[in-house]
Structure 1
């Protein structure tokens, strides 16, 4: 089984178990025991239903995936916890992140020049304010100026201003998604 299929199946099994389903069986693939960082996204009827992830590898990938899958289902503050009767209408997506790369930028123009549209995810931080977009957000926000404006807004900052001392990191991701559901 490919890495993507393994991660998707494990994410679904973790959520199934959290909803009184069978116990998760983690495959014995050595790469699942290596440190890894991932995001798990749930979509129901094509709409976002939950998304939780880790930006940095701080535990084995299998553990990170299981934790984030359950978080996307039950702890995303934007949504009510997922119910068992919704699970068959939910499509799972997994993004496996590369390590964060700090970018030396002082202005919004430098940030735009440093980001690679369609390829990079971004973590923006100014003091306690922090926002992150995984690379596939470029599909919704293909204009780099808009991408950064929405990222600042997600961080709780003004979408119009670039604050002195703003820090920016980029990362890439491998993405996998379950096939589109058919009604």
Structure 2
């Protein structure tokens, strides 16, 4: 995927995007000399934490934009548009920790029967997207590790995130996608 140096650059870029937007209401430009690998389309999430607690998390699960541009956009959104939280204020900026997750393209997990998901998905390696009709929920790979979930808990909580019943992954017509991520943080 990307190097540690590129990951550090993305974290600084996300921090700069958030600070510039909150203090000046301006969206920063991507530097012209950005590494070509950061111009490739990739999925990305920016997670904000304050005192160890989630303060915002938004991203693009699919590779729909050049990575550096995606990071700028989702960083600003994580700070100002996460419906679970009020917008980050200028006085909070020093207390916020920025984390950037760079995602592989989600792949459909193919199984003969739903019970096989328990063997095909690995906690700590995979992130999950559960999809049924118009409902869709995503959890990053680090979430089940942080909450000490087993695979059953991970599947159930991804279903809940989608607004579905915890055992929806066992139902006909439910699609499960997995992806991996590289995580970089301050």
Give the TM-score normalised by structure 1: 0.91
SS of match in other structure, 1:99? coil
Once the two structures are superposed, the pairs formed by residues 129-148 of structure 1 within 5 Å of their partners are 129-139=135-145, 140-148=147-155
Distance in structure 2 (CA, Å) of the matches to 1:175 and 1:101: 19
Once the two structures are superposed, the pairs formed by residues 67-106 of structure 1 within 5 Å of their partners are 67-105=73-111
Aligned residue number for residue 111 of structure 1: 117
Aligned residue number for residue 12 of structure 1: 15
Where structure 1 has 5 or more consecutive residues not aligned to the other structure, the ranges are 179-183
Instruction: Note if contact 1:150-1:159 (Cα within 8 Å) is conserved in structure 2.
Output: yes
What is the deviation of 1:25?
Answer: 5.6
* 1:24 and 2:28 aligned: yes
Instruction: Note if contact 1:105-1:167 (Cα within 8 Å) is conserved in structure 2.
Output: no
What is the deviation of 1:160?
Answer: 3.3
**More moved, 88-97 vs 23-32:** 23-32
What is the deviation of 1:135?
Answer: 0.6
Give the TM-score normalised by structure 2: 0.90
Aligned residue number for residue 159 of structure 1: 166
Cα RMSD after superposing both structures: 1.7
* 1:56 and 2:62 aligned: yes
Residues 81 and 105 (structure 1 numbering): CA distance in 2 closer, same or farther, change over 3 Å? same
Superposition misfits of 4+ residues, deviation over 4 angstroms: none
Distance in structure 2 (CA, Å) of the matches to 1:76 and 1:25: 22
SS of match in other structure, 1:52? strand
Distance in structure 2 (CA, Å) of the matches to 1:17 and 1:76: 18
Where structure 2 has 5 or more consecutive residues not aligned to the other structure, the ranges are none
SS of match in other structure, 2:82? coil
Once the two structures are superposed, the pairs formed by residues 25-44 of structure 1 within 5 Å of their partners are 26-27=30-31, 28=33, 29-44=35-50
SS of match in other structure, 2:158? helix
